[in-house]
Structure formats: C-alpha cells, structure tokens
C-alpha cells in the first residue's frame, strides 16, 4: 500500500490515513486530493508520505488527485502542522486557514461581476445520489478536456470563481454555459467593491525615496539591513516611539530584500486601520505588492493567491492570515504594531499571527521585524534577555516633540459640575481653541453605544441580556431606543416602564461613543463631527470613507473607539481627548493594565505628528493608576518594569506559560462538574512541580449565548508537556470535545 496522511477541513479531526491506489500517481506533499469520509467526498491536503504513518490496513482509497505538484508550499504545510500542534487544534482547521478563500461574502455594490461555482452534482458529493456513485466520482465522464479543466478549477474554489479568472485559463463562456446546462455549475452575479485604496484620499500619499533619514533611522536601518543580508532566521524588535518613522524603515528594508530575489511579508493589524502603511507600500512597489483586505471579493483574493503562489508578487501586505501566504522564498517578515490584539484569532485555530510569523521566519531562514511603540511584554522580555535584537527609535522625526499630556481628575469635575459631565471644562476649552485655529481633534472613548445600562429606580431591576451575563447597551435607532447585547447581538426595544414592577422610572446610565458625539454636537453646533466605531462603519466602505474625509480636512472632530487610536498619521491633529481612560481597567483580566497603557500611549501618539505641536487631555477617575500615569509620561521602560514585577508576583505570562480551558454547559452545575473532571484528569497527568492547574471557576463572562462557562487554567514553564497533558485528557474524554475550548497563550481570559 502507498499510504498518505491527509488533512481534511472538518473541526477537531486529526490527520487521516488513505491509500493511493495504483491507478493514481503519488500526490506531492501539499497537493489536494479528493477523499471519502463517511458518506461524503471531501477535498483534503496531503501532509505526509508513507514511513511514519501508522499503517492501518483498513485505509480507504483516495478518489482523485487534484494537483500534480504541491498546491501549498512545503513551508506552509509545515507551518499549519505547527499551528495545529501548538494551539491544540485539528490539523484540518489549520490547513483551512492556509487555503485560498472559501466562504462567500456579501458585499454592497459598485459594480457586479459574474461568479461561476460548481454544484454539488459537479463535485460528485451530492448525498442524494451517493449510493449509485461508489468511490469513484463520475464527473469527468463524457466531458471535453476544457470542461474537465473548468470543473477542476471550480472544485478548488468552493465560493466560485469570477468569469474573468476562468477566461485567463482559456475557459470560455461557452464552455461554462455547457457545464451549467449539465447541472454541473451555476452562475451568479455578485457585488464587487472596487479597491478602496483607489478611491481613498489616503492613496495620494507617495513614498519619497530621496527623503533624508534621521540619524536614528539610519542607525536602525543599518542594523536591520545587516541582519537581513545575513539571510538567516533572526528576530528584531523595532521599538520606536509614535511618529519616529518606522514605516520609512520598513519600506527601505523591504526594497533591499526584494532586490536579493526574496519576498517580503508585511503584517498589519487591520488594513483599513493602518492605511498609511498599506498605501505607502502600494505607492512604492505598485503591482508587485498584493494587499489583502476585506473589501476584496473571494474571487479576487483567489486570483491574488494564485499570483503569489506563482511567484509574481514580491510583497504581501495583509492581516494575520497573510502569515500563510504561499510566497515561495520569504526573506523578511515585518509585523507592524506587534502588540495589537487583533493578531490573535479568537476561534479555532486560536493562533497568534505574530508568533506564527516568527515560526515561519525560522522555517524560511528569514529576518522577522516586530515593530511597535508599545511592545507586548512578551516581546520586550525576549529582547531584554537577548533572544531578540533590540533596535530603538527614541525620538520623533525632525525632532518633533511628543504630545504634552494633561490629566483631568474626573472626581473633581463631578464634585463641581455634577454627575452628568461627559466632557470636562478643560477639554471643552481645548477643543474650542482647535476649532478656531482650524486644527483637528480626535476624541477617544473605548466603548460604543449611547448608554451602557438601563435600570429601574424603583425596584433596581437592570436590563440584562437573556442569553449572556452582561447588561444591554442602549443605542439610538431611527425609531427610538434599542437595547443590544454586544456579545450575542440580542436586541430589544427599551420599554417605557419597568418589566418587573411596572414603575415608569427607567433610567439610563453610563455612556458610549454615541452619547459623546451627541454632547459634542450640542456643544459645538457648527463643527463637522464624525464617529468611528463598529456600529458606524458596519456599511462596507464606511470606514475608509470616514477616515479619508478626516484626512482631507472635511471633518473637524473624529470621535471613536480604539479604531481611531491605531497607526493613523493625520498631521493636522493637534489635540487628542480621552473621555474615560478607565474603561478597560476594571476588567478581570491580567492584561488590563497593559491594554490601557498601550491604548493611551497610542492615542496620545496621534497628536502633533505634523508641524504643529500636539497635546492630549486624559480624563480619568484614577489619576494615580500607574498605567495611566506612565502612559501620560510616555515612559515605556518604567511601565515595563512595573508591569513585569506584577506579573512575576502573580505568576502570569510572560513569566509562565498559560493555557485557558473553557468548559461550557447547559447549567452552571453541568459546566462545573465537567470542569472538575478535566482538572482531576489533568492533575493525574501532570504530577510534577513547575506546572499547576487552577479552577474550575465560573468565568468572568459566566454566561454567553445561553451557555454557562467555567474556566480551568494550566500554568507552568514546560509548554510542550502542558500541551501534551491537555491533548491526553481530551483524547480520554471525546464526548467533551465539543463543549471545551482550549486557548494556548490566551490574550483575553474573560
């Protein structure tokens, strides 16, 4: 028998062993194959050949080999295997992330394009005619070579391919219409938004190759260039204060590496929120750069994937999943804003894009550059112990000063102005000044909605989500007030009187971005004000349009959540107001202090990036908290020291490794019972010091989408053994697999 191990995109499944019948060639590692699984036939990916596979004699035959060569490059296959192993996920889940886009997406329309997709009949996996089919798919019978070729291409793209992509392969509309007639394919017209960077004012920025670098930039670029030239695996942390010109360094380093015939991967937290970086790369490298952003249709992404795979692309700019881009010879990986939490995927496989990038760097022998003004504790610690090189930029370009930060103690403000104050007198005055001088203002509040709670003044009943243990957030809708759950999207009208005691004394408390926007409009009626949060940018293109309007000076004030704090470069912003610096501090999460520090430092860093001096005003109830104090002083080193000591005292990462296991149940009792069983078995496996289990305990978010949640933690220094213990316990309790979420190196433990 010729055995191969195949990953299929089915949750929780490990590698499956199949036999390659004599009539088929032996597929390459990374090639796609059609394999039977239960009553279905699925497309999987070959991960391993012969030798080390446990030779089950009952291995079923592969039905078909779809690729003559590797579809996924070997390093990407290896990377996906590492992800599955390290994050305790199914290898099929991990391979699915590395494959070109599958899921169909709805988009609003600028123009439409014709999408052709294969039918179940065309795939040969229609359950209704299963029995008659046997193992062999009938779909190539009686088809012309062109038709078969089209079917093959379509089978690889479950969401369909644009007609233009098929035409590129020499498949005409005529061929397609015959397939449709046979019931093997269907055609639909899909909305397709044009590249937002082509419409956006932000695309007008141009890289200036003749620009004189500052001495600090020169030194940093020299250090990194030497590393890149060595063409071997190394990680460097580029720690540069906001406005120190990191992007310029990325551009020149990327250019240098491309010239040696190797490719560059630039990872950003979110394309739309880091437009300056993406647009600069597009401007500098033109069509040699592929930008993977959410406005691309699946068809376009698929085409881009093929171009990358063929080696037609030198630079890929993308978000976390771009770490699996099929670039053949990667020489440089840049992870911009490496501390950003959006690098972590919060569904299986729960990987961290930065950490996977480092593993990819080691597989490729590439230089990995992690850039940030506020590095994660993990990365800075690695630099401190010499595992990473540390390259620093301590000053802003052209000796522009950092923004001066003023703290407003809101306790004093409430005492004199009453409890309903949202915008302090100091902040009002400062905004007024900017409006008169025609400068711009950013106002941050990391909480969306109008009010954050509703309660009855008579009986004290509060308005909670029926499915989750959180209070509902009030939003202003066209036809009145709506209360919405930010976790499960449950939504209801806000009644006039209490549901419990019928008293008409319902009161709204707390405030979010919508109320701040309202207060600003009331206070500054002639100012042009925009709001950026997940609610205001739901419509496709809305975010890019708001940001470019602000960049073009068509708005004076932009209110928003952390979305406005990221890497934007708006030179006319001279004031940043933080409405409540305390939003994240109350969370029962050991990273709360770090998040607050990062957010405040980043948002203060948005002020004074142009010629005029910048200022930030931070409103808080805890002016003495170290995260707030040190962010205002923009003192990363002091913050690191303080936070590190706290993590050490509490035995939290990065001093130990952490695995979080969430067990869900119909009742709290069920979940606790199952959690206790997990702990009992874990304790049976990990019997030595250096590792410990904690829990089960109800999670801070005790109920979510109707299920109760309890947590179990494993802390320790021996990661591999910790993972093995979890795997062993899950293998013993297969009935639990669907009720348990394993999060290795969790970023949030709510």
**Interface with ligand ADP by CB under 6 A: which residues?**
211-214, 217, 240, 242-248, 276, 397-398, 567, 569, 609
Distances (CA, A) of 735 to 371, 450, 744: 43, 43, 21
The string of DSSP codes covering 661-727 is EEEEESSHHHHHHHHHHHHHHHHHH--STTEEEEEEEEEEEEEETTEEEEEEEEEES-HHHHHHHHH
For Zn ion, give the closer residue by CB, 504 or 706: 706
Q: In angstroms, what is the minimal distance from the CB of 255 to ligand ADP?
A: 15
Q: In angstroms, what is the minimal distance from the CB of 224 to ligand ADP?
A: 14
Q: Which stretch, 295-303, 467-475, 476-484, 499-507, contacts Zn ion (CB under 5 A)?
A: 467-475
Q: Which of 233, 414, 481, 490 binds Zn ion (CB under 5 A)?
A: 490
Residues 6+ apart with CB under 8 A from 553: 440, 572
Residue with tokens 């948005």: 606
Q: Which does 569 bind (CB under 5 to 8 A by kind): Zn ion, ligand ADP, none?
A: ligand ADP
Q: Which stretch, 157-165, 322-330, 489-497, 687-695, contacts Zn ion (CB under 5 A)?
A: 489-497
Q: In angstroms, what is the minimal distance from the CB of 709 to Zn ion?
A: 13
Q: Which does 702 bind (CB under 5 to 8 A by kind): Zn ion, ligand ADP, none?
A: none
Q: Which does 485 bind (CB under 5 to 8 A by kind): ligand ADP, Zn ion, none?
A: Zn ion
Q: Which of 465, 607, 617, 657 binds Zn ion (CB under 5 A)?
A: 465
For Zn ion, give the closer residue by CB, 186 or 748: 748
Q: In angstroms, what is the minimal distance from the CB of 217 to ligand ADP?
A: 6
Binding of Zn ion by 483 (CB under 5 A): no
- The residue among 407, 498, 403, 424 whose CA lies nearest residue 455 is 498
- Per-residue three-class SS string for 53-101: CCCCCCCEECCEECCCCCCCCHHHHHHHHHHHHHCCCCHHHHHHHHCCC
Positions 167 through 206 that interact with Zn ion (CB under 5 A): none
Quote the distance between the C-alpha of residue 742 and its chain's center.
18
Q: Which does 246 bind (CB under 5 to 8 A by kind): ligand ADP, Zn ion, none?
A: ligand ADP
Q: Which does 247 bind (CB under 5 to 8 A by kind): Zn ion, ligand ADP, none?
A: ligand ADP
Residue with tokens 């310029």: 248
Query: Using CA atoms, how far apart are residues 214 and 298, in angstroms rounded to an integer?
Result: 42
Report residue 394: phi and psi, to 5°. -95, -10
Q: Which stretch, 81-89, 223-231, 357-365, 459-467, contacts Zn ion (CB under 5 A)?
A: 459-467
Query: Using CA atoms, how far apart are residues 521 and 77, in angstroms rounded to an integer?
Result: 54
Q: Which does 725 bind (CB under 5 to 8 A by kind): ligand ADP, Zn ion, none?
A: none
| Strand partners of residue 634 | none
Do the beta carbons of residue 50 and residue 689 sit within 8 Å? Answer: no
Q: Which does 217 bind (CB under 5 to 8 A by kind): ligand ADP, Zn ion, none?
A: ligand ADP
Binding of Zn ion by 488 (CB under 5 A): yes
Q: Which does 516 bind (CB under 5 to 8 A by kind): ligand ADP, Zn ion, none?
A: none
Q: In angstroms, what is the minimal distance from the CB of 449 to ligand ADP?
A: 30
Do the beta carbons of residue 379 and residue 373 sit within 8 Å? Answer: no
Query: Using CA atoms, how far apart are residues 56 and 42, in angstroms rounded to an integer?
Result: 20
Positions 72 through 111 that interact with Zn ion (CB under 5 A): none
The string of DSSP codes covering 541-591 is THHHHHHHHHHTTS-SEEEESGGGTSS---TTEEEEEES-TTTTTTSS-TT
Positions 625 through 664 that interact with Zn ion (CB under 5 A): none
Q: In angstroms, what is the minimal distance from the CB of 641 to ligand ADP?
A: 23
| 582-597: b (≥16 Cβ within 10 Å) or e | bbbbeeebbbbbbbbb
Binding of Zn ion by 487 (CB under 5 A): yes
Q: In angstroms, what is the minimal distance from the CB of 214 to ligand ADP?
A: 5
Residues 6+ apart with CB under 8 A from 500: 456, 459, 461
- The residue among 686, 683, 689 whose CA lies nearest residue 722 is 686
Residue 385 per-residue DSSP state:
T
For Zn ion, give the closer residue by CB, 470 or 678: 470
Q: In angstroms, what is the minimal distance from the CB of 367 to ligand ADP?
A: 19
For Zn ion, give the closer residue by CB, 466 or 669: 466
Q: Which residues bind Zn ion (CB under 5 A)?
A: 465, 467-468, 485, 487-488, 490
């Amino acid at each position: 028998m010729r055995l191969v191990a195949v990953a299929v995109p089915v949750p929780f499944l490990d590698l499956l062993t199949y036999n390659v019948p004599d009539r088929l060639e032996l597929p390459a590692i990374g090639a796609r194959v059609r394999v039977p699984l239960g009553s279905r036939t699925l497309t999987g990916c070959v991960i391993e050949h012969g030798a080390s596979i446990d030779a089950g004699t009952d291995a079923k035959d592969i039905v078909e080999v779809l690729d003559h060569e590797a579809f996924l490059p070997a390093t990407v296959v290896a990377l996906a295997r590492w992800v599955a192993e390290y994050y305790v996920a199914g290898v099929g889940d991990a391979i699915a992330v590395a494959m070109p886009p599958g899921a169909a997406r709805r988009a609003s329309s600028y123009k439409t394009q014709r999408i052709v997709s294969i039918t179940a009949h065309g795939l040969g996996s229609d359950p209704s005619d299963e029995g008659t089919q046997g193992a062999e798919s009938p779909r190539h019978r009686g088809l012309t070579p062109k038709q078969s070729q089209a079917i093959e291409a379509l089978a690889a793209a479950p969401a369909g391919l644009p007609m233009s992509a098929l035409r590129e392969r020499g498949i005409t509309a005529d061929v397609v219409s015959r397939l449709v007639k046979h019931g093997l394919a269907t055609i639909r017209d899909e909305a397709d938004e044009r590249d937002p960077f082509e419409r956006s004012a932000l695309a007008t920025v141009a890289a200036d190759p003749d620009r004189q670098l500052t001495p600090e930039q020169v030194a940093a670029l020299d250090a990194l260039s030497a590393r890149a030239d060595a063409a071997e695996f190394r990680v460097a942390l580029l720690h540069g204060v906001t406005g120190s010109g990191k992007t310029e360094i990325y551009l020149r380093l990327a250019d240098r590496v491309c010239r040696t015939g190797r490719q560059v991967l630039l990872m950003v937290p979110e394309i739309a929120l880091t437009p300056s970086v993406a647009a600069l790369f597009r401007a500098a490298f033109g069509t040699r750069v592929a930008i993977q952003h959410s406005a691309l249709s699946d068809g376009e992404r698929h085409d881009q994937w093929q171009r990358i795979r063929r080696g037609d692309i030198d630079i890929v700019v993308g978000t976390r999943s771009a770490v699996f881009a099929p670039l053949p010879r990667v020489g440089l990986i840049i992870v911009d804003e490496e501390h950003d939490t959006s690098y972590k995927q919060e569904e299986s496989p729960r990987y961290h894009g930065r950490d996977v990038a480092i593993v990819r760097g080691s597989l490729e022998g590439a230089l990995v550059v992690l850039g940030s003004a506020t590095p994660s504790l993990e990365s800075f610690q690695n630099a401190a112990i010499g595992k990473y090189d540390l390259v620093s930029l301590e000053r802003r370009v052209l000796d522009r000063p950092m923004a001066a930060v003023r703290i407003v103690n809101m306790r004093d403000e409430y005492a004199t102005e009453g409890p309903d104050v949202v915008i302090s007198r100091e902040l009002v005055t400062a905004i007024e000044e900017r409006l008169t001088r025609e400068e711009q203002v950013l106002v941050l509040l990391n909480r969306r909605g109008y009010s954050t709670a509703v309660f009855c003044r008579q009986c004290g009943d509060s308005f909670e989500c029926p499915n989750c243990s959180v209070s509902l957030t009030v939003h202003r809708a066209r036809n009145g007030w709506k209360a919405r759950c930010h976790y499960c999207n449950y939504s209801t009208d806000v009644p006039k009187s209490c549901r419990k005691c019928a008293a008409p004394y319902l009161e709204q408390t707390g405030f979010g971005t919508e109320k701040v926007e309202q207060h600003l409009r009331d206070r500054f009626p002639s100012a042009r004000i925009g709001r950026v949060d997940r609610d205001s940018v739901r419509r496709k293109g809305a975010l890019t349009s708001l940001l470019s309007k602000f960049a073009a000076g068509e708005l004076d004030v932009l209110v928003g959540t952390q979305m406005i704090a990221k890497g934007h470069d708006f030179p006319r912003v001279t004031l940043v107001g933080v409405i409540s610096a305390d939003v994240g501090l109350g969370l029962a999460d050991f990273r709360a202090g770090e998040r607050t520090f990062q957010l405040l430092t980043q948002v203060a860093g948005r002020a004074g990036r142009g010629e005029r001096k910048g200022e930030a005003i931070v409103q808080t109830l805890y002016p003495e908290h170290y995260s707030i104090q040190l962010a205002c002083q923009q003192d990363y080193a002091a913050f690191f020291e303080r936070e590190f000591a706290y993590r050490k005292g509490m035995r939290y990462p990065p001093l130990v490794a952490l695995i979080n296991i969430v067990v869900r149940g119909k009742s709290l009792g069920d979940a606790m019972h199952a959690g206790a069983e997990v702990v009992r078995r874990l304790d049976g496996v990990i019997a030595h010091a250096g590792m410990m289990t904690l829990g089960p305990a109800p999670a801070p978010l005790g109920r979510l989408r109707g299920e109760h949640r309890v947590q179990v933690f494993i802390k320790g220094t021996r990661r591999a053994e910790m993972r093995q213990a979890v795997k062993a316990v899950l293998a013993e309790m297969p009935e639990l697999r669907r009720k348990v979420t394993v999060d290795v190196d969790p970023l949030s433990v709510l």
